Structures are given as C-alpha cells and as structure tokens.
Amino acid sequence: MSIILIPIGKVNPADITMLEEPLEAVFSRAVVTGKRIALPAAARNAARNQYDAEVMLEFLSLSGETAGYDRVLGVTDVDLYLPGMNFVFGLAGRRNAVISLHRLRQSFYGLPEDTEVFRRRAIVEAVHELGHTFGLPHCEDPRCVMHFSNTIVETDRKGPAFCMVCHPRVKTGEAARR
C-alpha cells in the first residue's frame, strides 16, 4: 500500500518533497510523488480568486496518474474554498484528498517567511486530510491533528500527531471500516 502526492498547478517541488518522509513515518506506507497535473479551469471562481475544493477533489479522482495507489494527496498553491466558507486548508474524499499551501505561508499574513513554520503547517494539513481518507472524523481534542482548523492559529495549536483516541484507529484501520 502506498500514497502518491500529486502537484496540482505550479507547486515548488521542494514543497512536495518535504512531505514525503513525515507522511511515510505517520502512515507506515511508501510515499511517492507523481507528475504535476494542471489546475482545472472548472474549479476557478474568478470573482473570489479561489478554487472550489470539491471540484479540485473530483478532478484529482479522475486523474489516471493515481491508479494503483492506496491514497492520493493533491497539493496545490492556489487558495481553496467550499461554498458557504471563506476558505479551506484542504478537503478529503474516500481515498483522495487535496491541501492548499496558499494560507500556510507566513507571508500570507504579512509576516516574514519562516520555512520551519511553513513545513510544520503543511505536514499538519497533509496528515489531517489523509487521516480523513482513512476514515477518521474531526476530533474534539484541540491538540490532535484531526481537530478542525478554522484559522491558522488552530493549525498552529495542534501538532502533526494523532491523539490517543485517533492514533490506534488510523494504525489498525478501524476508522476505515466504519
């Protein structure tokens, strides 16, 4: 079983590579990076200058690049949203998930770049969305990676680790059997 990371649109290859080792450690699966796919024009909302996360997820699921992989994580640098929400850091479906790096950078908030803060945030969001593909719901523990993040402060508060309730469920696959 393995996980494939798919860059969607223009994404710095180093931003993808930095996710491979941490995801392998968390999910005990091989992680590889696939070929970049283009941003789906149908997902773009010009008025919002954002991309619809549901359309991005659907587009990702149709990519032939993902066949033969247990889980798929699309990584993009464009801003994502869902109808009724200002933005989302990511979204997950059955075996596919997508995350946006756009709001994870300090520069988005008018602050100097911090590579370690960005890396940590990207890992947290990648683990969170992949956790959903393994059947884990949102967790009430604000320090658990599966806690819902409505703001970057909430992302920073939680770590890239599962809590004592979620950890055994993702490791044993119990959550995926729901």
pLDDT of 177 reads: 40
pLDDT of 178 reads: 41
- Separation in Å, CA 149 to CA 35, 68, 144: 29, 31, 11
Confidence of residue 66 (pLDDT cuts 50, 70, 90): confident
- At 43-63, the pLDDT tens digits run 999 999 999 999 999 999 888
- At 115-143, the pLDDT tens digits run 999 999 999 999 999 999 999 999 999 99
Does the structure show a pLDDT above 70 at 15? Answer: yes
pTM of the full structure = 0.92
Query: Is 129 in the active site?
Result: yes
Q: Which residue of the set 21, 129, 140, 154 is catalytic?
A: 129
pLDDT of 49 reads: 94
Has 132 been labeled as part of a binding site?
yes
- Is the CATH number 1.10.10.10 carried by domain 2-177? no
Mean per-residue pLDDT of the chain: 91
Has 139 been labeled as part of a binding site?
yes
Does the structure show a pLDDT above 60 at 91? Answer: yes
Q: Provide the residue ranges of all domains of the chain, joining segments of one domain with +.
A: 2-177
- Separation in Å, CA 15 to CA 8, 85, 90, 121, 125: 12, 26, 16, 11, 13
Has 166 been labeled as part of a binding site?
yes
DSSP state letter for 10: S
pLDDT of 98 reads: 97
- Separation in Å, CA 80 to CA 43, 54, 76, 144, 164: 9, 9, 9, 23, 30
